[in-house]
A and B are shown apart, each in its own frame.
Chain A
Amino acid sequence: DGGITQSPKYLFRKEGQNVTLSCEQNLNHDAMYWYRQDPGQGLRLIYYSQIVNDFQKGDIAEGYSVSREKKESFPLTVTSAQKNPTAFYLCASSIEGYSYEQYFGPGTRLTVT
């Protein structure tokens, strides 16, 4: 089955620790995205990548970092610099850029205490 996988489903970390969220897709999509979802707010774009070894900041990139070494993988690191990291994180992909339909993974809920 083709799709997007995110792991783990739930993640707990202590404040001050960096944490990496995994996102893998086997859809052969060029573009991948990371979003953050908070209660009562729309999804907000953190980072996106339209091709391997290239990525751009979204609206709320501060305190986050990404890499795109392989077409299938787009891991997100939440650093200790992120002021309020507790949230639901969603990864998505599309064939090419934004004008194409985006497909989403199941999400990772990160809780930092």
Chain B
Amino acid sequence: KQEVTQIPAALSVPEGENLVLNCSFTDSAIYNLQWFRQDPGKGLTSLLLIQSSQREQTSGRLNASLDKSSGRSTLYIAASQPGDSATYLCAATGTASKLTFGTGTRLQVTL
């Protein structure tokens, strides 16, 4: 059974800092890995999707990497801003075509 873990559960950084969010998964046989953002009381916004054949994806200040062999993905946020404050979720799509979510990292970017 796939398990997805995100560490840390919460993170507070000053504005302008570069940061890395971690996601690990137990079953390396995945189709893809997705990163989402969730604001309090809202739905999920898709940030990046990395297919199993890819090593990384970039969108603006965001860069996500995938290392299937070690069961890890990271989301790098450059030059963080207060507007980046949210919960970030990763989800792995397994061979059974099922999306397994981590519990998220709650990020706060302070002025």
Q: How large is the interface on B (under 10, 10 to 19, 20 to 34, 35 or more residues)?
A: 20 to 34
Q: Which residues of A contact B (CB under 8 A)?
A: 4, 6, 33, 40-45, 58, 88, 90, 92, 97-99, 101-107, 109
- Interface flags, B28-51, vs A, CB<8A=1, else 0: 000110101000011111100100
Task: For chain B, residues 6 to 32, give those with C-beta under 8 angstroms from any C-beta of chain A.
Answer: 31-32
Query: Is the Cβ of A107 less than 8 Å from the Cβ of B43?
Result: yes
Assembled-state Cα–Cα distance A58/B98 (Å): 9
Q: Which residues of B contact A (CB under 8 A)?
A: 4, 31-32, 34, 36, 41-46, 49, 89, 91, 93, 97-104
Contacting residues, chain B, for A104 (C-beta < 8 A): 36, 43-46
A42 CB contact (under 8 Å) in B34, B41, B46, B103 = B103
Assembled-state Cα–Cα distance A109/B89 (Å): 19
Query: Is the Cβ of A105 less than 8 Å from the Cβ of B102?
Result: no
Nearest CB of B to A66, in Å: 17
Given contacts A101-B46, A104-B43, A106-B43, contact A42 B89 (CB under 8 A): yes
Assembled-state Cα–Cα distance A40/B89 (Å): 12
Given contacts A97-B97, A98-B93, A101-B34, contact A40 B103 (CB under 8 A): yes
Contacting residues, chain B, for A98 (C-beta < 8 A): 31, 93, 97-99
Assembled-state Cα–Cα distance A44/B46 (Å): 17
Contacting residues, chain A, for B102 (C-beta < 8 A): 42
Nearest CB of A to B23, in Å: 11
Query: Is the Cβ of B32 less than 8 Å from the Cβ of A99?
Result: yes
B104 CB contact (under 8 Å) in A4, A42, A105, A107 = A42
Query: Is the Cβ of A43 less than 8 Å from the Cβ of B101?
Result: yes
Contacting residues, chain B, for A44 (C-beta < 8 A): 101
Given contacts A101-B46, A105-B43, A107-B42, contact A42 B100 (CB under 8 A): yes
